[in-house]
A and B are shown apart, each in its own frame.
Chain A
Amino acid sequence: MSAQTVELDRQEAEPIQAEETASSARRRVTPGRLAGLVGLAAMIAAPLPFGDYGLFIGQFALVYAILGLSIVVVTGYAGMLSLMTYSFAGIGAVVTAAAMSSWDFPFWMSVFIAAAATVPVAVFVGMVSVRLKGLYLAIATLTLSTALGETFFKWDAAMGGRAGWLVEKPAVGPIDLASEAAFYVVLLGVVALLVWMIGGLRTSRLGRAMLAVRNNELEAQALGINPYRTKLSAFVYGGMIAGVGGSFLALLLTNVTREAFQSPQVEVTSILLVSLVVIGGMNRAIGAVLGAVALVAQQQVFQGAEALFSVFGLYAAVLLILFLRLHPGGIVQLGQSLAHLTRVRPALGIGITSAILLFNIGGGYLIVRYLS
């Protein structure tokens, strides 16, 4: 965890301008873009061969991606290591479940209510922790997360009694979310929309203020930026995104119970979410998606091979630390380096990219096929 906080300051700078160059470049089809699109299509299609179970896992990854996007704003853009994302998701999930079950609100409206419900909590958390830095902030948010588990998530009226809320996947307009495929596609749309939105946030007054505050608070103030308000905004936007993620989490879980949002599950899940964003690349919205896919895929591969998991756990941890030392921008940065290498030395770039893909996909296949 301390390694991650150190990395916060060492992110690769990404273009935060270049809206005009981006739009003119967007029209060109380069081999790199084509490869990216093929990769994206492959990722989207990956759950299909595994039927409904595959789609469920895909949905799971996408919900995690939404929660990861919240971390991109709070930790990636604004540089605050907050470890209570899953608590915000819990608030979103509970509010959605309550709104749908007891008040008979339509799902789409519940999503907005869930997002709104996180705002007062985010403001409170922001106000008490906005002057804390690094690990102190992490500890404070962890504590608040535990506290919420002992108060709000223990409150019978909010939690729908001991058994929790039962949520049925509703129909939104003509789309019946009870179909696994339909829910998967809707989630894909939501994630795509959020990636687009959070990408836009980066290229804006507020987004640049967040990057400035992450870099150097004193200098940010010297340029007329209010650091407290900027950090508070990051918490509020992050909270709302996590709240939206929580709405979909409620549908995914179908049974929203208190245990998931209490100690120790809630802290573990929040830390897991931060790690997946770090792996994916927290400086870019797409990093959250890549991280979520990588994490869920890894979980699936090792699920049946528990003996192996304990052996490989250490190996994976060492690999992760090395990876982050060399590529603090995560998978996103790795992709950028490979793309650059391919431009300069095409054969070498394509060779290394293929080797990495083959090692991961092939290795995963072998483990699932022979070791589980």
Chain B
Amino acid sequence: MALLRTRDITLHFGGIAALSEVDITIEEKEIVGLLGPNGAGKSTLFNVITGYLKPDFGRVLLQEDDVSRFLPYERVRAGIGRTFQHVKLFRDLTVYENLLVAQHRHLSAGGFAAMFRTPGWRRDEKEARERAARILELVDLGPWKDRKPLEISYGTTRFLELACVLSLEPKILLLDEPASGIQQKEVEALGPMLKRIRDDTGCAILLIEHDMGLLLNSSERIYALDLGKIITEGTPTEVVHDDRVLSSYLGRTRSGSRATA
């Protein structure tokens, strides 16, 4: 049984087909890359899978359950976690508080319970603090615990965002350019980290990435997208040697030399 499948996803923006009949399949614990030039529709596909955009037609299946009608937060609860191309986070809250917010779906105490500080609320808060502390430890963000997102490096906010999404214990993680805007050293740490996340949590990963080294090294399978269509699919080596990929993407950009190197 496939973990995630999209069927015939088609979406037009005005007269332009942003996505046409996109079918992708991701198996359990698989790391899949999404390759394509700017405007190919990668982020659009992410937004459709996560419910931020409604396709004209087509369906999204999570473990064969149709989640096409789910709102974004409902898809998160169903197990689809995502990060954004531009880090969002909560700017008024500290790193630790951001992580506390991310524990939302593991908690249950209501507003009245909190107002009267019932034992249920106490248990809830203890659980939230413990979970947040554990994740803080896991992603090594301890030293920045009480800082706000704007006070730490962009790369660190990327890791924080990842930590928040991991708190949701997703079945599949959609990462939109996790390496963009971060230092080369951090990019190099990202590849092994993605594999570790997959091994430790057992979630599958769908990755959009412009850093070719990272994409080709971490992905086990790659879909190449151009002008809203899947043009080919295969292992990283197969995909980078595919003529259609070379002409649509690598031929037109300088990253081709890096990819084959």
Interface residues of B in 101-122 (CB under 8 A from A): 101-102, 104-105, 107-111, 113-117, 121
Interface residues of A in 244-288 (CB under 8 A from B): none
- A 173-213 binary contact with B (CB < 8 Å = 1; else 0): 00000000000000000000000011011011111110110
Q: Which residue of A lies closest to B105 (CB)?
A: A224
Nearest CB in chain A: distance from B250 CB, A: 32
Return chain B residues, CB-CB under 8 Å to A300.
Answer: none
Of residues A203, A204, A216, A224, which shows the largest number of chain B Cβ atoms within 10 Å of its Cβ?
A: A224
Return chain B residues, CB-CB under 8 Å to A224.
Answer: 73, 76-77, 104-105, 168
Contact A219 B115 (CB under 8 A): no
Contact A212 B73 (CB under 8 A): no
Nearest CB in chain B: distance from A44 CB, A: 23
Contact A223 B104 (CB under 8 A): yes
A198 to B115 alpha-carbon distance, docked (Å): 6
Is B82 an interface residue when CB atoms closer than 8 A count as contact? yes
Is A233 an interface residue when CB atoms closer than 8 A count as contact? yes
Is A311 an interface residue when CB atoms closer than 8 A count as contact? no
A215 to B121 alpha-carbon distance, docked (Å): 24
Interface 9-mer from A12-20, A58-66, A98-106, A146-154 = A12-20
* With A205-B107, A218-B88, A225-B73 as contacts: A13 and B114 at CB distance below 8 Å: no
A19 to B108 alpha-carbon distance, docked (Å): 18
Q: Which residue of A lies closest to B121 (CB)?
A: A204
Q: Which residue of B lies closest to A229 (CB)?
A: B73
Return chain A residues, CB-CB under 8 Å to B121.
Answer: 200, 204
* With A13-B148, A221-B73, A222-B88 as contacts: A200 and B93 at CB distance below 8 Å: no
Q: Which residue of A lies closest to B74 (CB)?
A: A226
Q: Which residue of A lies closest to B167 (CB)?
A: A223
Is B159 an interface residue when CB atoms closer than 8 A count as contact? no
Is A237 an interface residue when CB atoms closer than 8 A count as contact? yes
A224 to B92 alpha-carbon distance, docked (Å): 19
Nearest CB in chain B: distance from A275 CB, A: 22
Return chain A residues, CB-CB under 8 Å to B88.
Answer: 216, 218-219, 222
Nearest CB in chain B: distance from A195 CB, A: 11
Is B52 an interface residue when CB atoms closer than 8 A count as contact? yes
Is A110 an interface residue when CB atoms closer than 8 A count as contact? no
Contact A222 B76 (CB under 8 A): yes
Contact A204 B125 (CB under 8 A): yes
A131 to B159 alpha-carbon distance, docked (Å): 31
Could you say which interface size class chain B belongs to?
A: 35 or more
Contact A212 B84 (CB under 8 A): no
* Interface of A: prevailing SS: helix
Return chain A residues, CB-CB under 8 Å to B113.
Answer: 204
Option from B50, B111, B116 in Cβ contact (under 8 Å) with A233: B111
* With A197-B116, A222-B84, A223-B76 as contacts: A17 and B111 at CB distance below 8 Å: no
* With A205-B107, A222-B84 as contacts: A215 and B117 at CB distance below 8 Å: no
Q: Which residue of A lies closest to B118 (CB)?
A: A200
Is A227 an interface residue when CB atoms closer than 8 A count as contact? yes
A268 to B164 alpha-carbon distance, docked (Å): 43
Is A85 an interface residue when CB atoms closer than 8 A count as contact? no
* With A205-B124, A222-B82, A224-B105 as contacts: A215 and B93 at CB distance below 8 Å: yes
Return chain B residues, CB-CB under 8 Å to A87.
Answer: none
Nearest CB in chain A: distance from B253 CB, A: 30
* With A206-B111, A207-B111, A209-B101 as contacts: A223 and B116 at CB distance below 8 Å: no
Q: Which residue of B lies closest to A205 (CB)?
A: B107
Is A11 an interface residue when CB atoms closer than 8 A count as contact? yes
Return chain A residues, CB-CB under 8 Å to B132.
Answer: 17
Q: Which residue of A lies closest to B96 (CB)?
A: A17
A188 to B96 alpha-carbon distance, docked (Å): 35
* With A16-B97, A233-B111 as contacts: A205 and B76 at CB distance below 8 Å: no
Nearest CB in chain A: distance from B89 CB, A: 6
Contact A201 B93 (CB under 8 A): no
Q: Which residue of A lies closest to B164 (CB)?
A: A223
Return chain B residues, CB-CB under 8 Å to A208.
Answer: 97, 100-101, 104
- B 47-74 binary contact with A (CB < 8 Å = 1; else 0): 0001010000000000000000001111
A222 to B85 alpha-carbon distance, docked (Å): 13
Contact B104 A13 (CB under 8 A): no
Nearest CB in chain A: distance from B103 CB, A: 8
Contact B104 A203 (CB under 8 A): no
Contact B114 A204 (CB under 8 A): yes
Return chain A residues, CB-CB under 8 Å to B29.
Answer: none
Q: Which residue of A lies closest to B97 (CB)?
A: A16
Contact B101 A200 (CB under 8 A): no
Option from A9, A12, A203, A226 in Cβ contact (under 8 Å) with B114: A203
Return chain B residues, CB-CB under 8 Å to A218.
Answer: 52, 72, 84, 88
- B 145-159 binary contact with A (CB < 8 Å = 1; else 0): 000100000000000
Q: Name 9 A/B residue pairs within 8 A (Cβ), A-sorted.
A: A11-B92, A19-B129, A197-B115, A204-B121, A216-B90, A222-B81, A225-B73, A225-B104, A226-B71
Extra pairs beyond A12-B92, A222-B88 (6, CB < 8 Å): A17-B96, A17-B128, A197-B115, A203-B114, A223-B76, A223-B168
Lowest 9 CB-CB distances: which A-B pairs, in order? A204-B114, A219-B88, A197-B115, A215-B90, A224-B76, A205-B107, A221-B72, A224-B105, A206-B111
